[in-house]
Amino acid sequence: MTLPDDAKVLGIAPGPLALTVTGVQASIPLEPGPHRQLLAHVDAARGVAGCRISLCLENIRGTQDGAVLHVSVGEASARRPPSAEPLGLYGLRRASVRKGQRPGAGLTNILDLTAAVAQLPLVRSLASDALAVTIYPAAPLPEPVDIVIGRLVLFWEKFGA
C-alpha cells in the first residue's frame, strides 16, 4: 500500500498475524526518528492537534466475509475498548482468491487512531519504544478462524504549519 506523501512511518509490526477466536496481539516497534518528531509535535501542541495518527492493516486475507474486527492500542490487555471504528471485512473472500500463480492481494484498511492517542494513558504509551495493538472479533467467529493480516503499519501526518 502506498501511504500519503507526507506520512512518516512510526513502525511496522512483524507479520503475518493470524487471528484466533480471541484475537491477536502485536507490538509495533517505533522508529526513533519519526517517533521523536511525533513526540516533539505532541509536546509543542499540548496534544495531537494538527496531526493524524493512523494504523494501516495491509493484505488481510481469509474466507470469513462479513467479519467485524475491533482494534485497540496501548497497554496490552484482553478487551480494551476499541480505539477506532469497527473494521468490516466485507469482500474478504473475493479479495483473497488466487489469481493464477499469485495469491489475492486481500483487503487493506486505514484506521484513524488520533482520538485514541489524544487520551492521556495512550500518550504515555507512545513515550515507550513500542506500541501494543490488540485486534479482536466484535462477535464470536466460527472455528477455524481463517483471517490473516499481512502487516500493521503505524504512521502519522502533520497538518498546517
Residue type, position 8, single letter:
K
Q: Higher-confidence residue: 87 or 104?
A: 87
Classify residue 3: in a domain, yes or no: no
* Dist. CA 101–CA 103, nearest whole Å: 7
Q: Give the per-residue pLDDT at 120.
A: 45
Q: Higher-confidence residue: 77 or 21?
A: 21
Mean pLDDT, rounded, of the chain:
82
Classify residue 113: in a domain, yes or no: yes
- Provide the whole-model pTM: 0.85
Q: Give the per-residue pLDDT at 19.
A: 93
CATH number of the domain at 31, please: 2.60.120
- Report the range of poorest mean pLDDT among 83-87, 109-113, 135-139: 83-87
* Beta strand residue intervals within the chain, DSSP E: 8-13, 17-18, 24-29, 51-62, 68-73, 87-88, 107-112, 130-137, 147-158
Classify residue 1: in a domain, yes or no: no
Percent of the chain with pLDDT over 90: 24
Classify residue 107: in a domain, yes or no: yes
Q: Give the per-residue pLDDT at 132.
A: 85
List the helix and strand counts (H, then E) for the chain.
4, 9
pLDDT digits (tens, 9 = 90+) for 9-67: 889 998 899 999 889 999 989 888 877 777 777 666 556 677 888 899 999 999 888 89
* Dist. CA 72–CA 82, nearest whole Å: 5
Q: Report the candidate in 19, 29, 30 with the shortest Cα–Cα distance to residue 149.
A: 19
Classify residue 2: in a domain, yes or no: no
Q: How many domains does the chain have?
A: 1
Enclosing domain of residue 91: 8-158
Q: Give the per-residue pLDDT at 57.
A: 94
Mean pLDDT of all residues in 134-157 = 90
Q: Give the per-residue pLDDT at 12.
A: 93
